[in-house]
Amino acid sequence: MSVTTALHQVEQHRGNDPRTAAAGRMWSRRSTEHPDCVIARVEGELDAVGLDDFRALLGRCRRDGCRVVVLDLRATTFLCIRAASALSGAKSDAWRHGVELRLVSGRHDIERALQITGARHQFRYFPTLRTALTG
- Structural domains of the chain, with CATH: 20-134 (3.30.750.24)
User: What pLDDT is recorded for position 52?
Assistant: 93
Mean pLDDT confidence for 41-63? 91
What pTM, to 2 d.p., does this model score? 0.80
Mean pLDDT for the chain? 83
**Share above pLDDT 70 across residues of the chain, in percent, rounded to a whole number:** 82
User: What pLDDT is recorded for position 43?
Assistant: 94
In a 3-state reduction of DSSP, which class is residue 23? strand
Residue 23 has pLDDT above 70, yes or no: no
End-to-end Cα distance, the chain: 56
